[in-house]
Amino acid sequence: MIWLGIDTANAPLAVAVMNNDEILVEIKQHIKLTHSIGAMPAIEEALQRANIEPKAINAIAVSIGPGSYTGVRIGVTIAKTLGWTLQIPVVPVSSLKILASNIDSTTIICPVIDARRNNVYAAIYQGNETLLDDGHYSMETVIACLESYKASVNFVGMDAIKYEEQIKNILGDKATIAPPAKSLPSAVEAILLAQQMTLPMIEAVHQLVPVYKRITEAEANWLKEQQPYDN
């Protein structure tokens, strides 16, 4: 079974082609190129290098967020378009679970994506258990939640290093930050996670939407405008 994996939820771009559990091609790009420009050429390159025609793809795994609004939207749109055109299932995968899957550990894993203003998209996992659901939190909230656990904590994600001082001040030596090589998004991990799920119906692609975990700035401004002025 031929899988195409796409992760555009972070600044780095990740694309992979797999035949069941065999990696045929994996591409990770962290260059100053927007996903709207770089994603499709990367997919085309991956398929060409794997010697796979688009019509030979059997399923698509795509990161649906949370993460960059624009990035997530681009990846989901590409996956939906390809899925419906090729009449194949598209499997949605959490961007945070993808990051967490980079770490082979029995410790607590906390994937982090920066959401600005000392806020993050984060989750807390231990093995198959979710200790904190994917969401938009202040970094203080995430650290406070982790403080209640005795086990060591592995932070993963390119943005985790931004909060290293804050993390170490509270959690001390029980917290470690994954090296850069383990902090990049992985389309291979997206596929491996998708393979553990039941394939959705092809028609389900129409209901597939990005998971932002917070309202966009435009939505926030609109809601603010709807509030009556104080007298």
Tens of pLDDT, residue by residue, the chain (231 residues) = 999 999 999 889 999 999 999 999 999 987 666 787 889 999 999 999 999 999 999 999 999 999 999 999 999 999 999 999 999 999 999 999 999 999 987 899 999 999 989 999 999 999 889 999 999 999 999 999 999 999 999 999 999 999 999 999 999 999 999 999 899 999 999 999 999 999 999 999 999 999 998 754 444 444 345 454 444
Structure token pair of residue 193? 């996670």
Which residue from 134, 182, 193 is spatially nearest to 157, judged by alpha carbons?
A: 182
pLDDT given at position 122: 98
Which residue from 59, 64, 63, 65 is spatially nearest to 90, judged by alpha carbons?
A: 59
> Bridge-partner residues for 153, per DSSP?
108, 175
pTM over 0.75: yes
Q: How far apart are CA 110 and CA 130, in angstroms?
A: 10
CB 221 within 8 A of CB 73: no
pLDDT given at position 136: 96
For residue 204, give every residue at least 6 positions away whose Cβ sits within 8 Å of its Cβ, in sequence order, or none. Answer: 89, 90
If 0-12 CB within 10 Å is exposed, 13-18 middle and 19+ buried, where does residue 220 land? exposed
Q: How far apart are CA 225 and CA 26, in angstroms?
A: 46
